[in-house]
Structure 1
């Protein structure tokens, strides 16, 4: 029976994925700093309470694991020290524990903010999944850094590492920007399923968005792994407040003072 470790399982995306990644032949090992809801009678779930920045916790959490979906970390702008300690050093702790445990498949949650200063194109040339980083915040920098760490662990140790530049994963888009960058929870689960099951992907950087009518980023790289989106943010277009689509991928993050925690 396959076992998948999900870090940050109590966060926004982790909570959405818990019911969607259930499978009769799979155990989900859920790690979070805070206590998670106990398994229901129809779940094959193992709960681990602890910090991904703690090496001993991660070594134990990676034992007998077939794949890791690393969602844990700070998900907004924060101080340089905290972003380094949790997102960068924490991801290194996860990768090193995975290496020691012989886990060969790692999915890293990167972010659109790793390329937040890339201009949104008005022509048909969608922004590629492997577009070079142009972070918009310390948070965005940390996501670019973990992509580089993933590349290192693939090249040095042969681990399969897929970095997913997640757009905006909520039940529904919140604004006009979301009409381009939305990743539905169901599509997110489909994407993660493709990432953990693709045969010998090596190192990849892909976009994590739905097949939106107003797409500005490419799904070519994700589809090459077997991802097929079934959702489109456009169905929510008439329900959203009027607004102007941002000029840059990072949207409002470009206006966030560096190192200042924000509620976006």
Structure 2
């Protein structure tokens, strides 16, 4: 490829993705609302930009083949605070991609698009939206945007419903939901390189014995995760209290996002779960 654009390049996942994406194209253009990192690849350029500003976003996509859209505010918050980065930002990316004739958008969606589904229900990629928060609703909006731009304008999209992407699983819930950074990079590479995808939804989850979701409908992506949270099960189970069967943090796919009030942050609850 001639050019890939990565948004959210300063986030934890974006930082892991940058070296791999730089190896897939002549040029990687990375962007975020923060200042540039100090470890740019030889073929990587960096532009600071606000996703909510079309005049800042659109020029970045000129000449690109694919945009990997990982930029967003990553927590629940009042709708008004998410509107710019998560809702308008998604529209700006898809519209700019259409204007510049890109082939594909690879989007960091989230399990929170279906976060109120029961953990034990065994869903696959065909599950209807059931968001748990305004944050999850933004993921539904972007997925529907991606389907519409494919069906009306022929712009391909792969929406990756990422579960719990951390260096290692941190709590009981993550024994099912963990996505290792290695598997995350592999998943994004396959979403970029698969020959044809149309509009595709896939779950970002490692090869966990206890995975609560299935990618059996999308084998054509070629995603073959290698890591398994079961490796950490004995250590996590020994340190954790018994899970409450009435706790929506465990009984719903969204975990803590499923139990917080709309507009209230959930990341702090995730950290608390990691302590026991």
What secondary structure does 1:108 align onto? strand
Q: How does 1:196-211 map to 2 (within 5 A)?
A: 196-211=192-207
Deviations 1:2-28 (A, max 9, x none): 321110111121112123434175422
**Divergent runs of 4+, >4 A:** none
TM-score with structure 2 setting the length: 0.89
Q: Could you say which residue in structure 1 is the equivalent of 2:220?
A: 224
Counterpart CA distance in 1 for 2:251 and 2:26 is 42
Determine if contact 2:116/2:132 at 8 Å carries over to the other structure.
yes
**Which consecutive unaligned segments of at least 5 residues does structure 2 have?**
244-248, 269-276
Q: Residues 146 and 24 from structure 1, CA distance in 2 versus in 1: closer, same or farther, beyond 3 angstroms?
A: closer
Separation (CA, whole Å) in 1 of partners of 2:218 and 2:13: 18
Q: Does residue 44 of the first structure (1) align with residue 40 of the second (2)? A: no
Q: Distance in 1 between matches of 2:264 and 2:252?
A: 20
Change in CA separation of 1:189 and 1:221 when aligned onto 2, cut-off 3 Å: farther
- Displacement of 1:88: 1.1
Instruction: Provide the aligned length of Structure 1 versus Structure 2.
Output: 260
1:54 aligned residue: 53
Of the three residues 119, 123, 132, the one matched with 2:128 is 132
In structure 1, the partner of 2:251 is: 247
CA distance in 2, matches of 1:26, 1:236: 39
Contact 1:29/1:48, CA 8 A, preserved across alignment: yes
Determine if contact 1:116/1:254 at 8 Å carries over to the other structure: yes
TM-score by length of 1: 0.93
Is this contact kept in 1: 2:123–2:214, CA < 8 A?
Answer: yes
- Name the CA distance, whole Å, in 2 between partners of 1:98 and 1:228: 28
| 1:199-237 C-alpha deviation (Å, 9 max, x unpaired) | 121001111111111111002234321111111111122
- Aligned ranges 1:172-187 → 2 under 5 Å: 172-187=168-183
| Stretch moving more, 42-51 or 235-244 | 235-244
Counterparts of 1:159 and 1:192, CA distance in 2: 17
Query: Does structure 2 retain, via aligned residues, the 8 Å contact 1:191–1:222?
Result: no
Matched, 1:18 2:22: no
Unaligned runs of 5+ residues in structure 1 are: none
State the alpha-carbon separation in 2 of the partners of residues 69 and 252 from structure 1. Answer: 27
In the TM superposition, residue 86 of structure 1 has moved relative to its aligned partner by 1.7
Check whether the contact 1:111–1:140 (CA below 8 A) recurs between aligned residues: yes
Q: By percentage of residues, which structure has more helix?
A: 2
Corresponding residue number in structure 2 for 1:29: 29
SS in 2 for 1:121: helix
Instruction: Compare 104-113 and 242-251 and name the one that shifted more.
Output: 242-251
